[in-house]
């Protein structure tokens, strides 16, 4: 089953005295490009989170943000004092008093207001990693479901365009006899206008030459073969975006050749319709993983 590269997912979970929240957005990209924003408590585990993502996704720009919100309703029973910081402040006061021979003291309240004296008790990072990893896997699961849903829509659209391409190819093939007949009539009409005698063998040789020069059977066969390959690739379960992009290039190449060889208005019109259909498919293939 093919997957789109465009999706969004969000997962929240309460852990101990905190709430974790993953938010994931993905868009199309040639390779897997991960942009990960983590709270400071979990930055050390960035590579582990990225490894989880690489196991789940193959292509696309992936923007992830993990939010850590500590519970505000937790009661504060104890104020934790940074004793080393307090000692450093007192020692500094003593040094200033020694150097200036003036009194230099700090009140208890002033010490408490000094940055870093009161230690904020944070949730331990090691206690957060496993819940955050599990929550990430759940969020990625939702993301993949959304990518698969969009992938089914893309697959249906591409298959419908493939069916139209097949019909156009069949119509062009069925007109080849008529095109050759019209070419012969056109040449004979020109000869009649000139009112000259023409060697029949020479005429046949020239007609064969023109028919061969304008022969598009090979291009039509390749168009049909490429369409069969597109339908086969759409049934694969692994990432196929790059393969489909290559097939769209090949289809466009054959459509261009068909247009350049055409000496028939209907065939030229068919070639233009093919190019429009192929471009529509190509735009959608760019969004497939």
Same domain, 46 and 165: no
Residue of 230, 218, 220 lying closest to 162 (CA atoms)? 230
In-domain check, residue 270 = yes
Same domain, 235 and 157: yes
End position of a domain, from candidates 64, 95, 116: 116
In-domain check, residue 78 = no
In-domain check, residue 235 = yes
In-domain check, residue 28 = yes
Same domain, 142 and 11: yes
What is the 3-class SS of 168-189, one letter each residue?
HHHHHHHCHHHHHHHHHHHHHH
The dihedrals phi and psi of 199, each to the nearest 5 degrees, come to -70, 125
In-domain check, residue 213 = yes
State the pLDDT at residue 75: 43
When divided into structural domains, the chain yields a total of: 3
Asked whether the predicted pLDDT for residue 149 surpasses 80, the reply is yes
Same domain, 142 and 211: no
Tens-place pLDDT, residues 64-92 = 999 988 765 544 455 677 788 878 878 88
Q: Which residue has the higher pLDDT, 114 or 31?
A: 31
Same domain, 142 and 155: no
Residues 263-269 have a mean pLDDT of 80
State the pLDDT at residue 40: 85
State the pLDDT at residue 194: 61
Same domain, 137 and 187: no
* Chain CA centroid to CA 271, Å: 30
Same domain, 12 and 141: yes
Same domain, 231 and 253: yes
Mean pLDDT, the chain, integer: 84
Same domain, 134 and 206: no
The residue range of the domain holding 255 is: 151-285
Same domain, 161 and 261: yes
Look at 21-35, 88-102, 221-235 and tell me which has the smallest mean pLDDT: 88-102
Residues 23-43 have a mean pLDDT of 93
Tens-place pLDDT, residues 114-148 = 677 666 555 556 678 999 999 999 999 999 999 99
Burial degree of 142 (CB within 10 A; 0-12, 13-18, 19+): middle
What is the 3-class SS of 185-253, one letter each residue?
HHHHHHHHHHCCCCCHHHHHHHHHHHHHHCCCHHHHHHHHHHHHHHHHHCCCCCCCHHHHHHHHHHHHH
pTM of the model: 0.70
Same domain, 20 and 49: yes
Asked whether the predicted pLDDT for residue 105 surpasses 60, the reply is yes
- Give the up-direction half-sphere exposure of residue 276: CA atoms within 13 A in the CB hemisphere: 8
Tens-place pLDDT, residues 180-229 = 666 666 665 665 666 656 666 665 665 555 555 556 778 889 999 999 99
In-domain check, residue 1 = no
Same domain, 157 and 111: no
State the pLDDT at residue 159: 96
């Amino acid at each position: 089953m093919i997957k789109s590269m465009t999706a969004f997912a969000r997962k929240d979970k309460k852990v101990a005295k905190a709430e974790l929240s993953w938010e994931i957005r993905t868009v199309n990209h040639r390779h897997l490009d991960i942009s990960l924003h983590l709270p400071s408590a979990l930055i050390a585990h960035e590579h582990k989170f990225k490894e989880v993502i690489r196991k789940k996704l193959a292509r696309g720009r992936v923007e992830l943000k993990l939010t850590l919100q500590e519970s505000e309703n937790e009661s504060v029973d104890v104020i934790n004092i940074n004793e080393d910081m307090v000692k450093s402040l007192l020692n500094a006061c003593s040094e200033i008093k020694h150097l200036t021979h003036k009194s230099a003291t700090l009140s208890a309240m002033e010490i408490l207001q000094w940055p870093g004296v009161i230690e904020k008790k944070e949730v331990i990072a090691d206690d957060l990693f496993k819940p955050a990893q599990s929550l990430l896997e759940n969020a990625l699961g939702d993301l993949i479901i959304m990518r698969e849903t969009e992938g089914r829509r893309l697959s249906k659209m591409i298959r419908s365009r493939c069916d139209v391409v097949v019909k156009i190819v069949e119509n062009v093939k069925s007109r080849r006899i008529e095109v050759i007949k019209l070419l012969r009539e056109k040449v004979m009409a020109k000869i009649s206008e000139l009112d000259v005698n023409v060697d029949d063998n020479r005429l046949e040789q020239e007609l064969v030459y023109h028919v061969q020069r304008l022969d598009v059977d090979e291009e039509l066969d390749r168009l049909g073969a490429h369409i069969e390959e597109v339908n086969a690739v759409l049934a694969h379960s692994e990432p196929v975006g790059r393969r489909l992009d290559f097939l769209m290039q090949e289809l466009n190449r054959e459509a261009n050749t068909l247009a350049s060889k055409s000496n028939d208005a209907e065939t030229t019109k068919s070639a233009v319709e093919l190019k429009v259909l192929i471009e529509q498919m190509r735009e959608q293939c760019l969004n497939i993983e």
